[in-house]
A and B are shown apart, each in its own frame.
Chain A
Amino acid sequence: MSWAVLLALCATSYALKAVGPLLAGGRRLAPQVRRTLDLIPVALLAALILVQTVSTGHRLVIDARIPALAVAAVLVWRRAPFLVVVLAAAGTAAGLRALA
């Protein structure tokens, strides 16, 4: 992983945070704009979930990640703590792969 890209990401994320505090003195976003911005992470996270569950590189793959995600979904629904959700998913995938 290149340091240049990593530092570019650091600079970009700081710039995004600083736009308001440094340039726009107390201006507010229109509710319409804010609601639209709120949907950006939703679309991206949903895509990341599906892509990282059922694909490897350019291939669509069905493997232990699907039952792992199902376990995670139940735990999220049951309001389990973040770490429990993540570890249970890893444990499910690891367990199934060990059995296979």
Chain B
Amino acid sequence: MPEPRAYYCPMAVVVATPPSRIARDAVGIGIAVGVYGVSFGVLAVAAGLSPAQACVMSMLTFTGASQFAFVGVLAGGGGALAAMAPAVMLAVRNAAYGLSLASILPRRLRDRALLAQLVIDESTAMARAQDEPRAARRALLVTGVSVWLGWNAGTFAGALLGGGLGDPRSLGLDAMFPAAFLALLAPQLRRPGAPAAGAAGALVAIALVPVAPAGVPVIAALSGVAAGVLVARRVKR
């Protein structure tokens, strides 16, 4: 079973597998994501979303890092629109996943439209690990459904739990956000240029905090991508 902590990208631990293994792995990933969903539910409510809003968000948005970023900016005092921008940018990678999966999807438009909602880190990783299109399609569907169920069950439980918790600060809930982001970031730091992109982005953001409207510093951190690209290019040569 893949380690639960490989939330962002379990690609390293997923190998080509027979159907029964695909299902078993998918259930394991779903449970791991469910646990993670509980913390999202708690934090969403602490950030001011109603439990219903937290649940609708998990059902329809269904992309973990974006949802964490959204409620994180809200909790930090940013407005809803300021929270949108980093959330959307974090979801851009799903477009890249969707493009890479387009060739293995069924032909019927309705099926493609439904499967599109399941395009996320885990399902893409499982699909890519398969040798042939039918197995890949199956892996995408089974993993996607399993993660969707786990994520939403977790959010629901967390949202109910979170409402009765009291002052978020005295419980240390504000410290949960950076810890969650760090756990998401760590496995990605091995990419070429990633440390430079992260460091530059973080520095730009913190320099802007005293002067820019809430939410803007994190968007400005996108400029760190340029630093990462430059470093990656130099290392290659």
* Residues of A bordering B, CB below 8 Å: 1-3, 5-10, 12-14, 16-22, 24-29, 34-60, 64-65, 68-69, 72-73, 76-77, 79-83, 85-95, 97-98
With A40-B222, A85-B179 in contact, do A91 and B201 touch (Cβ < 8 Å)?
no
For residue B189, which residue of chain A has the nearest CB? Answer: A42
How many residue pairs link A and B with beta carbons under 8 A? The number is 327
Chain B residues positioned under 8 Å from A20 (CB to CB)? 95, 97-102, 116, 119
Residue A47 contacts which of B8, B32, B102, B202 (CB distance < 8 angstroms)? B202
Min Cβ gap B50→A in Å is 7
Tell me if B's interface is mostly helix, strand, loop or mixed: helix
Chain A residues positioned under 8 Å from B185 (CB to CB)? 41-42, 45-46, 49
With A3-B53, A48-B181 in contact, do A21 and B101 touch (Cβ < 8 Å)?
yes
Number of interface residues of B (CB under 8 A): 108
Chain A residues positioned under 8 Å from B183 (CB to CB)? 72, 76, 82, 85-86
Q: Which of B36, B172, B232 has the most chain A CB within a 10 Å cutoff?
A: B172
Chain B residues positioned under 8 Å from A43 (CB to CB)? 197-198, 200-201, 221-225, 228
Residues of B176-217 contacting chain A, CB below 8 A: 176-186, 188-189, 191-194, 197-206, 209-211, 214, 217
Determine the distance from Cα of A65 to Cα of B176 in the docked complex, in whole angstroms: 9
Query: Could you list some 26 contacts between A and B, CB below 8 A?
Result: A1-B53, A6-B53, A6-B56, A9-B66, A13-B60, A19-B98, A21-B113, A22-B109, A40-B222, A42-B189, A43-B198, A44-B222, A46-B224, A47-B202, A47-B204, A50-B203, A51-B217, A55-B76, A56-B76, A76-B5, A76-B186, A79-B5, A82-B180, A90-B173, A90-B176, A97-B170
For residue A58, which residue of chain B has the nearest CB? Answer: B210
- Whether A68 contacts B172 by the Cβ 8 Å rule is yes
